[in-house]
């Protein structure tokens, strides 16, 4: 416990986004997730808060750096394919992101729970950034996606990543790609771990639907929004269990 507290997301009584710990508590009775998590900015390199990067195990810094670089390459390739599938220039998403886009790593540990019906490992939410790369536990399922009012299990496959579309992608694709509501359930007899890498546009960028995807058949669905502002709204709404994307509609 002491080791974890060295990296706590509460410093001098102030809640910080990065570090070890659960969500900020903003309301009495707010339901917290059944999870232990560490959240770190991993990209751009010069903005890392290394004092929050655990030194045990010793290899973590090196491995996380390598993992970040490889995830970046992978994401760029996937984003090129995604742009092509929308008949946009293949660099559409990649050029918006630029080279120094923010990437965050979230290490999720969901302990087993004697009353799994009463808690979520992670409550229903959508991801705010552009795209998330999830490395799930090899053989413990737990992630579920809401589709047409039903919760569908996301199956895992050894050595496969899960790519999740985030709100920024839904906005930029004018709603063609959907940012799904998803949640993580717990089990009475199994723990689960996952690593989620969130890739976002720079806070000062303004994003909106691609011009090519707005036409008479498909009118503009979302406002143009400054990313920083969207995140402020997102954080508040997330804690209240609401979706920021509903607020972003024109």
Ligand X SMILES: O=C(O)CCC(=O)C(=O)O
Contact set with ligand X (CB under 6 A): 106, 108, 122, 127, 134, 136, 143, 182, 184, 194, 196
Which whole-number Å values give the CA distances from 114 to 40, 56, 61, in the listed order?
30, 30, 34
**Which H or E run includes 169?**
helix 167-172
Measured between alpha carbons, how far is residue 212 from residues 16, 83, 205, 223, 225 in Å? 39, 11, 19, 15, 18
Binding at 194: pick from Fe ion, ligand X, none (beta carbon under 5-8 Å per type): ligand X
Pairing type for strands 19-20 and 14-15 reads unpaired
In a 13 Å sphere around the CA of 75, the CA atoms on its Cβ side amount to 32
Please list every residue from 89 through 118 that binds Fe ion, using CB under 5 A: none
CB 34 within 8 A of CB 113: yes
For the CB of residue 245, give the shortest distance to Fe ion in the complex, in Å: 13
Examine residue 170 and tell whether it contacts Fe ion (CB under 5 A).
no
From 65-73, 88-96, 126-134, 229-237, span contacting Fe ion (CB under 5 A): 126-134
Tell me if 18 contacts Fe ion by CB under 5 A: no
CB-closest chain residue to ligand X: 194
* Number of residues engaging Fe ion in binding (CB under 5 A): 1
CB of 133 to ligand X, least distance (A): 11
Footprint on this chain of Fe ion (rule: CB under 5 A):
127
């Amino acid at each position: 416990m002491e080791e974890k507290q060295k990296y706590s997301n509460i410093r001098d009584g102030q809640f910080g986004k990065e570090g070890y710990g659960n969500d900020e508590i903003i309301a009495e009775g707010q339901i917290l997730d059944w999870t232990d998590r560490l959240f770190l900015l991993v990209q751009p390199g010069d903005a890392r808060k290394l004092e929050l990067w655990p030194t045990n195990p010793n290899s973590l810094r090196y491995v996380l750096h390598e993992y970040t670089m490889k995830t970046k390459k992978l994401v760029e390739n996937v984003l090129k394919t995604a742009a092509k599938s929308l008949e946009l220039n293949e660099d559409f998403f990649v050029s918006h992101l630029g080279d120094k886009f923010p990437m965050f790593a979230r290490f999720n540990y969901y302990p087993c729970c004697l009353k799994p019906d009463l808690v979520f490992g992670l409550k229903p939410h959508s991801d705010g950034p552009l795209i998330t790369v999830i490395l799930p536990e090899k053989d413990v399922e737990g992630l579920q996606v809401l589709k047409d009012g039903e919760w569908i299990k996301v199956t895992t496959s050894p050595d496969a990543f899960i790519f999740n579309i985030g709100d920024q992608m839904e906005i930029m694709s004018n709603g063609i790609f959907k940012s799904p509501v998803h949640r993580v359930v717990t089990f009475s007899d199994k723990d689960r771990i996952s690593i989620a890498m969130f890739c976002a546009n720079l806070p000062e960028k303004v994003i909106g639907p691609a011009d090519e995807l707005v036409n008479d058949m498909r009118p503009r669905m979302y406002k143009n929004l400054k990313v920083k502002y969207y995140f402020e709204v997102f954080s508040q709404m997330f804690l209240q269990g609401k979706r920021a994307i509903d607020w972003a509609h024109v």
